[in-house]
Chain A
Amino acid sequence: TQLLEQSPQFLSIQEGENLTVYCNSSSVFSSLQWYRQEPGEGPVLLVTVVTGGEVKKLKRLTFQFGDARKDSSLHITAAQPGDTGLYLCAGAGAGNNRKLIWGLGTSLAVNP
C-alpha cells in the first residue's frame, strides 16, 4: 500500500518566520502535487512537480521534488497570515493509475 507521510501535522508560527513542510514516501511517484485548503472550501492546487530534483517557485513558496521522486518539500519564506491553511500533498502512481495518494496534511497557522 502506498503511503504519503506529511510532517509536521500542525505548525503555529509568527508572521515573518520561515517554515518547511515535508512529504515522504517509500514509493516512487510519477508526479506530486501540493494543494492548499482553507476552512469550509475545497483544496486548491498550488503546484505539480514531475521531474526528480525539480524545484519550482511560486512567489514566497518553494517546492522541491526529491531526486528519487519519493519525497517533496514545501518551503515558505517570510510567512504571512494569508498563508494560514491546510497544506496537502498528493502523489500520482506510475502507469494508468487515476487515483492520487494523499498525505494527511499540515495545518499551518501564521499569527500576526
Chain B
Amino acid sequence: SQTIHQWPATLVQPVGSPLSLECTVEGTSNPNLYWYRQAAGRGLQLLFYSVGIGQISSEVPQNLSASRPQDRQFILSSKKLLLSDSGFYLCAWSDGPGRETQYFGPGTRLLVL
C-alpha cells in the first residue's frame, strides 16, 4: 500500500532563516506530487505541483520554491522566511492523468517568528 511522509511535523523558525520541508511517497512510482498551504481551518492553496523528476509548476509567485530530486521526493524550500510564510503545509500525491484523487501527508505546522 502507498504511504506518504512529511517532516518535520512542527517547525518554529525566525524571520530571515532558510526552510526545507521534505515529503516522500512509498509504494507507487511516477506520482504527481503537490505542495499546499492551508490557513487556519480553511481551504487549500496550491503552491507547486510536479509531474516528474525536475518538473515543477509554480501556482503562486512567492517566497518559496520546490524541487523534485527523486521520483518520490518533493522538497519545499525558502532562502529567507517571512512572517507571512507561517501556516500548515501539506504534501499530496496522485496517480496521474485521469485519476485525480489526491492523498495527503500529515502536514507540517510552520511558525515564523
Chain A residues in contact with chain B, CB under 8 A?
A: 30-31, 33, 39-45, 48, 86, 88, 90, 92, 96-100, 102-105, 107
Quick one: which of A39, A40, A104 contacts B43, CB cutoff 8 A?
A104
Number of B residues near A (Cβ < 8 Å) is 25
Known: A99-B46, A103-B43. A42 touches B107 (CB 8 A): yes
* 0 or 1 for each of B63-101: is its CB under 8 Å from A? (1 = yes): 000000000000000000000000010101010111011
A104-B42 contact given A41-B107, A98-B49, A99-B49, CB 8 Å threshold: yes
Q: How far is the CA of A86 from the CA of B103 in the complex (A)?
A: 16
Which residues does B use to contact A, with CB under 8 Å? 32, 41-44, 46, 49, 51, 59, 88, 90, 92, 94, 96-98, 100-107, 109
14 intermolecular pairs with C-beta atoms under 8 Å apart: A31-B100, A40-B88, A41-B107, A42-B107, A43-B44, A45-B101, A86-B41, A88-B44, A90-B102, A98-B32, A98-B49, A100-B46, A102-B44, A102-B46
Knowing that A40-B109, A88-B43, A96-B98 touch, tell me 9 more A-B residue pairs with CB under 8 angstroms: A42-B90, A42-B104, A90-B102, A98-B49, A98-B94, A99-B59, A100-B100, A102-B43, A102-B44
